[in-house]
Structure 1
């Protein structure tokens, strides 16, 4: 009986979670494996599409003639059993299609069609070498040009570990391969030839002597041989022609760690840290899927708790996965983990080149890296035998993906913890209300670190009422107390961190005669002035246009800049403090690869006095010489129409305050605000998380918001507002018909920013406690949305949204 493959196909216009049956050609039988990517003919036009093998069988329900698989894209599966199960769970919980979830898990390089080569390993026999590599070099793995017999043979060799596929990518950070050199003769024969070489060719003699000293059969890079032997590539080429050496292709590992890291030793723990490590390591030893919340004030030594817990997992021969919320935090955390665990560490985040990401992914897949550190998508790293999963700064909203599949990394981490029977550690100074509420219910074990690790005092926090400052000194970004404190730190050669949660030069441009505000033509939002590029930019769609000097509406020249941004603050600081060295860290200044790391390294080496940035500088950074933190406008998030506005403000202020006074020098914080009496600002001043938790939970309870209720947000968008609105009303009708009266349906309403990228957005929010019919109703809505999607109507479902804006 012929073998049949169950294939999930990738057809964007009509997705399905049901696999299609395809015949496996005789020559590929028992070579195709579950988890491989394949190319199959699809539809009446027999167009070729990619897919993933999710099952193999000998029978099918299909009574017609099965189409055969066209070819395979991989010689080995790219998804293991765990990740296939995870994709199924993810599809169910995020209302996404299985194929979308699978693609989310793969590194970028496997989602494209880069050039691929098959190269032999050292175990290949001479006969196999002659058959499959007649030219003696790696061959292109282009399945459209390989005959079925050769492809089947290569599949068998791959399963035996005799060949491997390497991926090449354009614009990569470094060459993927390099030329290798191996001696072709015995050391005695090479020395014999060296003695007879003409005196007019001293370089050849040097090379022969070096080749005679090379040990074993392993190749060395040609560049290394040339340098050590003191010869040029031309001399090596001549030696190859004379049969003294053999050239081969060597793979070059693209190392994302561009700076050497000094090894570190475990630190002495205080009593609270010891209690935390003991509890976590007991769960590791017992292989128990226990979930922990490490609630530690800023500077309480959470990282050391993580590192010593990881060490315990590694000691047992298991692996570790550690998540950090964004690229800005990755360099410092990666360096600490790398300093402790060396070459066993792999790093995964979007700041790496595609080639670096792929190399790291493959090191993990092969089991060469046993500790993985990375941002959100690293939660899908193909790590086997996990002993611990750690999620630092677990409250961060960047752990939630805002496009399909709309997963939260915390949920994926908890799923993987159960799968591997290992503890999951969620760490934060300001846990999300959902996590803290679960700890209060006993679903998570709460471990509290109430003091700073080295017993330093918490920084003194001052709240500056900007309403009073406005009366005294007019419109300024800096209050008098903050500016005095900055000057004092500069005199003492200490460092300052200033946070303003708005990039650009100015919030908007307005005509003082007619009140006209320059808006984005594609979005319902004003354009932001950027002085470095002398342009107006939209922070939603990227639209850019020149700065107007005349009002487009009334042609007045009284056009002025309002609001403030990081660029404008930097210019003001440079005027006020001409001797101070200032570094700016925001999305604009960190676009280039490695920019985060470079800025933080410069600041860490005290090559700047002031680090000015957006919220990316608020978390996780540890600089011993920072004794002053200034928050220029604490109200940025408070005014947003979002139920999490107060929580985000409290978290941000507490986190950024924690950057001050982390070593021996005492720290001080100034929070500038127009709302000094707001409970989020008052409680952040006293770093009182527990009181904030109780206050905010009371407000959430009154408003029927998470964590007391679950929530789902449905959004419809289209270039015509009427089409989006009509779709949303139809969706609301379906929800009301399918759900119980206990479900709270809010909407439909236009979104807070009603138009983005030329599309109008309407939304509805469903709040519920138990709705058994919710999933089938939402599945029905998702399936029905596929046909209108071809005509530009997009419907999205977001389970547990991070905001309702």
Structure 2
């Protein structure tokens, strides 16, 4: 069941139900006093539970399983490895439209008759129930104009005014297409002529019939009603009239919401280097199931993926293509659809619930529409039956790791396990592989294939480091732009080229402060300053979503001396519009990509040249391909390098190298300008030299010295509670337990970089387990400690989060 409980539950079924049920089917079951949940059948047996009385199931939802045995096996591995429950994996995997749940409805207690007991708000609900048999919780919230109504409903229950009931509701609704066909009795020409003669006084109906036969001369085909009405310039009323006269038969059939074109183009010819790499890949798969494809930016890795996909399809195998960002899918979908047409299906969170259900159903139905699945990490949990190839592009990306809520899995690692279950092959592609992956390749756990040159003999971009200390001292800055960066921007524009500017911070300014008293507005729910968003004229928290309008005067001292510190993408766009008013500028960050098609619009505008300069956050660094970009500017590189994380330097190298790789992807040579206060930093020098191997060796040496992955396994424990004192006591108790059980392997407790988020204080522990130690035994001991911890009454309300491989 989709609830965070470790155990499975037994329910009672009849002999008839037993004959209909098979593992993987959905049933609706009662749980607790009144709730109804969707559950997945694991197996049928004859052993009645001894601890509780088995309840009968409420309803069978499916005629056949909606999950596969191999899928369930993969879910079980995720639950076991990442220390979560099978229910949490189920909730993450199933589109919520497939998770039928009961909705609480409020109904009037017919025995209640004393209106004098009611408050004004309760009387409004009493009146509403006189006219309506039942109300949803949201209806009550709207009537009394309150966001939280739990206490209010409890008061009405105590007075006997209302009763509660649970109603099951279905979220998924198939899209139905209206079709028209000729009634078989009018296939006879005499009957048809007689009917047409009777329609002389109905010219609109006659015109519709004539158009039907123009599109369908023999009258034997079925037509889409909308197409027919559009061609005939007619209305639904005319069609309904002919349906009532039994001339047309009208019916509905479910259709997919997403329609792909059947037209495809041939695969591009591979370069000599690409062909050699492809041959090495195929040879590597004879000995290894996982292969790392380490190719520099713009080396043509995607064309190798396409060749491998085509071979998998020839063997009637399914292909899973994982990408770290939804933005990347936009460009890649266009390319892959051109090659594979209707075989491609897309699965990610920007698609509607109904669209995701249809992808799920197409996979379960083994249709040709779902031979290739492209999507973000959630696509990994789909019901594959004949998987032959998994491609994990940009495998180093942190976006593959799920942090909240559980299951906190890493899609790259879970993909390798999924491939093992299906006996499929895995390609891990990246220009800057994660240190763990490259280490595994060096140790021969994975095969390694390298593409060391760009497609078409293109050169890697020249990278220049600008010393901000010197440029500010010499007054060679224009706002946030050094004179050198500004000159490069103008040169690129004069050559009709495009520019990408990178600043890994959204909003207008990260800090708004008062110059009179020094007060900085903070979020009331989190220990962070509020970010200024000029377009909305508001201060926003990027952690909990809290927002407040900007006031001109300081709330502390009352003076109108508020000013901004730092800068985000919004302010960069504003500064550029002042400096280059005639140049069309776009912005790509979380604020501008909330809509379903917003990624596509921004990318298409830039691709078509409607936008000359694109300003964005790390979204821009992830594999996007723009042939006309010759300049990339990094406005400030230092904040990434100083982040308190053992992977900060690795991530900085990857991010800067990837964003630099957007430049010079065609025949033109690219340039990259990185502005920094520390141009002599070792990582920046390695970025400038494109020295991945040097960075890898240096970071590997440091990690070995300080005991970090890939030499140890990390498990992070996070405690959260609204009361800081309770949390302190809980962390002290846990520290003593860890010291006894894990000794020197446990570090903590410590405060995270932001100690309070959403009014919950946090403490963290880090457990380091040697690679040669059985992780299962350590996790088992950890879960025992967790159970003992939560058994203490004072700590029952403390959230105990386990994050395995938390990086």
Bigger mean CA deviation after superposition, 298-307 or 743-752: 743-752
How much does 1:235 deviate?
Answer: 1.7
**Equivalent residue, structure 2, for 1:793:** 798
**Equivalent residue, structure 2, for 1:32:** 21
**In structure 2, do the counterparts of structure 1 residues 300 and 63 end up closer, same or farther at CA, with 3 Å as the change threshold?**
closer
How much does 1:354 deviate?
Answer: 1.6
2:520 match: secondary structure: coil
User: Does 2:771 correspond to 1:767?
Assistant: no
Distance 2:478 2:754 in 1: 28
Bigger mean CA deviation after superposition, 203-212 or 692-701: 203-212
User: Does 2:442 correspond to 1:440?
Assistant: yes
Q: Which residue, out of 48, 71, 74, partners 1:83?
A: 71
8 Å Cα contact 1:509-1:528 kept in structure 2:
yes
Q: Which has the higher helix share?
A: 2
How much does 1:209 deviate?
Answer: 4.1
Distance 1:244 1:409 in 2: 56
**Equivalent residue, structure 2, for 1:102:** 90
**Equivalent residue, structure 1, for 2:454:** 452
Bigger mean CA deviation after superposition, 702-711 or 760-769: 702-711
The residue correspondences of 1:65-80 to structure 2 (distance < 5 A) are 66-80=54-68
2:756 match: secondary structure: strand
**In structure 2, do the counterparts of structure 1 residues 674 and 181 end up closer, same or farther at CA, with 3 Å as the change threshold?**
same
1:55 match: secondary structure: coil
**Equivalent residue, structure 2, for 1:358:** 357
8 Å Cα contact 1:84-1:102 kept in structure 2:
no
2:42 match: secondary structure: strand
**In structure 2, do the counterparts of structure 1 residues 332 and 205 end up closer, same or farther at CA, with 3 Å as the change threshold?**
same
Distance 1:167 1:221 in 2: 27
**Equivalent residue, structure 2, for 1:300:** 299
Distance 1:590 1:414 in 2: 30
**Equivalent residue, structure 2, for 1:616:** 619
**In structure 2, do the counterparts of structure 1 residues 643 and 81 end up closer, same or farther at CA, with 3 Å as the change threshold?**
same
Distance 2:794 2:241 in 1: 63
User: Does 2:256 correspond to 1:247?
Assistant: no
User: Does 2:718 correspond to 1:715?
Assistant: yes
8 Å Cα contact 1:319-1:370 kept in structure 2:
yes
Distance 1:534 1:661 in 2: 37
1:714 match: secondary structure: strand
Q: Give unpaired runs (5+ residues) of structure 2.
A: 104-168
**Equivalent residue, structure 1, for 2:165:** none
8 Å Cα contact 2:178-2:225 kept in structure 1:
yes
Distance 1:544 1:315 in 2: 53
How much does 1:75 deviate?
Answer: 3.3
Q: Which residue, out of 476, 479, 482, partners 1:476?
A: 479
**In structure 2, do the counterparts of structure 1 residues 699 and 76 end up closer, same or farther at CA, with 3 Å as the change threshold?**
same
8 Å Cα contact 1:289-1:421 kept in structure 2:
no
**Equivalent residue, structure 2, for 1:705:** 708
Which string of whole-angstrom CA distances, capped at 9 and with x for unpartnered residues, describes residues 368-394 of structure 1?
210010011111122221111000000
2:535 match: secondary structure: coil
User: Does 2:648 correspond to 1:659?
Assistant: no
Distance 2:460 2:490 in 1: 22
**Equivalent residue, structure 1, for 2:187:** 187
**In structure 2, do the counterparts of structure 1 residues 210 and 197 end up closer, same or farther at CA, with 3 Å as the change threshold?**
farther
User: In the comparison of the two structures, how many residue pairs are matched?
Assistant: 730
**Equivalent residue, structure 2, for 1:555:** 558
Bigger mean CA deviation after superposition, 241-250 or 105-114: 105-114
How much does 1:180 deviate?
Answer: 2.1
**Equivalent residue, structure 2, for 1:125:** none
**In structure 2, do the counterparts of structure 1 residues 60 and 47 end up closer, same or farther at CA, with 3 Å as the change threshold?**
same
Which string of whole-angstrom CA distances, capped at 9 and with x for unpartnered residues, describes residues 216-248 of structure 1?
876433212222344322221111111112221
Distance 1:508 1:332 in 2: 35
**Equivalent residue, structure 2, for 1:749:** 750
Which string of whole-angstrom CA distances, capped at 9 and with x for unpartnered residues, describes residues 727-780 of structure 1?
2222222222223x4x52211011111011111000000112044431112222
Which string of whole-angstrom CA distances, capped at 9 and with x for unpartnered residues, describes residues 477-501 of structure 1?
1011100000111111110010110
Bigger mean CA deviation after superposition, 683-692 or 178-187: 178-187
8 Å Cα contact 1:291-1:423 kept in structure 2:
yes
1:521 match: secondary structure: coil
Distance 1:86 1:52 in 2: 15
Q: Give unpaired runs (5+ residues) of structure 1.
A: 1-8, 116-165
**In structure 2, do the counterparts of structure 1 residues 384 and 10 end up closer, same or farther at CA, with 3 Å as the change threshold?**
closer
Distance 2:280 2:221 in 1: 46
**In structure 2, do the counterparts of structure 1 residues 112 and 69 end up closer, same or farther at CA, with 3 Å as the change threshold?**
closer
**Equivalent residue, structure 1, for 2:278:** 277
8 Å Cα contact 1:283-1:423 kept in structure 2:
no
> Structure 1-normalised TM-score?
0.87
User: Does 2:494 correspond to 1:491?
Assistant: yes
User: Does 2:642 correspond to 1:639?
Assistant: yes
How much does 1:635 deviate?
Answer: 1.3
Bigger mean CA deviation after superposition, 722-731 or 536-545: 722-731
**In structure 2, do the counterparts of structure 1 residues 524 and 218 end up closer, same or farther at CA, with 3 Å as the change threshold?**
farther
Which string of whole-angstrom CA distances, capped at 9 and with x for unpartnered residues, describes residues 679-721 of structure 1?
1111111111111111111111221111111111000000111
Distance 1:475 1:558 in 2: 24
